[in-house]
Amino acid sequence: MNDNLGLPLVTPRVTPVLHPAFRPAVLANRAYRAELNTVANAVPVLLALEQSDGIVSHFQTRIFPESDTRAAGNFNYLERIVKYLLWSRGGWRLHFVGPQELAARLAGHYRGTVTGRFDSNMVGERMFDHPLEVVHTSSPPPEQRTAAALGRNLDGCRIGFDLGGSDRKVAAVIEGKVVFSEETVWDPYFQPDPQYHFDGIMDSLKKAAAHLPRVDAIGGSAAGVYVNNRVKVASLFRGVPPEVFNARVKDLFLEIRKAWNNVPLEVVNDGEVTALAGSMALGKNRILGISLGTSTAGGYVNAEGNITSWLNELAFVPLDYNAKAPTDEWSGDYGCGVQYFSQQCVGRLIPTAGIEVEPSLPLPEKLKHVQKLMDAGDYRARKIYETIGTYLGYGVAHATVFYDLENVLILGRVTSGPGGDLIIEGAKTVLKTEFPELADKISFHIPDEKEKRHGQAVAAASLPKANGK
Per residue, what are the HEC states of 77-104? HHHHHHHHHHHHCCCCEEEEECCHHHHH
Looking at the DSSP bridge assignments, the partners of residue 136 are 96
Whole-structure pTM value: 0.87
- The torsion angles phi and psi of 409, rounded to 5 degrees, stand at -110, 125
Higher pLDDT, 307 or 413: 413
Model pLDDT for residues 14-50, shown as the tens digit of each residue: 999 999 999 999 999 999 999 999 999 999 999 999 9
Band of pLDDT at residue 456, cut at 50, 70 and 90: confident
159-173: burial string, b at 16+ Cβ within 10 Å, e else: bbbbbbbbbbbbbbb
N- to C-terminal Cα separation, the chain:
61
Q: Judge whether residue 292 has pLDDT over 80.
A: yes
Range with the lowest mean pLDDT among 85-99, 153-167, 340-354? 153-167
Range with the lowest mean pLDDT among 133-137, 163-167, 188-192? 163-167
CB contact set of 325 (below 8 Å; sequence gap of 6+):
21, 22, 23, 334, 335, 339
- How far is it, in rounded angstroms, from Cα 424 to Cα 409? 10
High-pLDDT (> 70) share of the chain, %: 97
Looking at the DSSP bridge assignments, the partners of residue 3 are 8
Is-contact 128 52, C-beta < 8 A?
Answer: yes
Model pLDDT for residues 248-285, shown as the tens digit of each residue: 999 999 999 999 999 999 998 888 887 888 888 888 99
Higher pLDDT, 279 or 69: 69
Per residue, what are the HEC states of the chain? CCEECCEECCCCCCCCCCCCCCCEHHHHHHHHHHHHCCCCCCEEEEEEEECHHHCEEEEEEEECCCCCHHHHHHHHHHHHHHHHHHHHCCCCEEEEECCHHHHHHHHHHHHHCHHHHHHHHHHHHHHHCCCCEEEECCCCCCCECCEECCCCCCCCEEEEEEECCCEEEEEEEECCEEEEEEEEECCCCCCCCCHHHHHHHHHHHHHHHCCCCCCCEEEEEECCEEECCEEEECHHHCCCCHHHHHHHHCCHHHHHHHHCCCCCEEEEEHHHHHHHHHHHHHCCCCEEEEEECCCEEEEEECCCCCEECCCCCCCCCECECCCCCCECCCCCCECEHHHCCCHHHHHHHHHHHCCCCCCCCCHHHHHHHHHHHHHCCCHHHHHHHHHHHHHHHHHHHHHCCCCCCCEEEEECHHHCCHHHHHHHHHHHHHHHHHCHHHHCCCEEECCCHHHHHHHHHHHHHCCCCCCCC
Output the pLDDT for position 11.
97
CB contact set of 266 (below 8 Å; sequence gap of 6+):
151, 218, 219, 220, 229, 463, 464
CATH code linked to domain 148-271? 3.30.420.40
Model pLDDT for residues 99-118, shown as the tens digit of each residue: 999 999 999 999 999 999 99
Is-contact 2 73, C-beta < 8 A?
Answer: no
Whole-angstrom Cα Rg for the chain: 22
What number is the average pLDDT over the span 314-327? 96
Q: Judge whether residue 156 has pLDDT over 70.
A: yes
What number is the average pLDDT over the span 401-422? 93
Boundaries of every domain in the chain = 39-145, 148-271, 273-456
Output the pLDDT for position 152.
84
High-pLDDT (> 90) share of the chain, %: 77
Model pLDDT for residues 360-396, shown as the tens digit of each residue: 999 999 999 999 999 999 999 999 999 999 999 999 9
Mean pLDDT of the chain: 93
Q: Would 148-271 and 273-456 be classified into the same CATH topology? A: yes
What number is the average pLDDT over the span 405-433? 94
Model pLDDT for residues 212-262, shown as the tens digit of each residue: 999 999 999 987 888 889 899 888 998 999 999 999 999 999 999 999 999
What number is the average pLDDT over the span 388-412? 96
CATH code linked to domain 273-456? 3.30.420.40
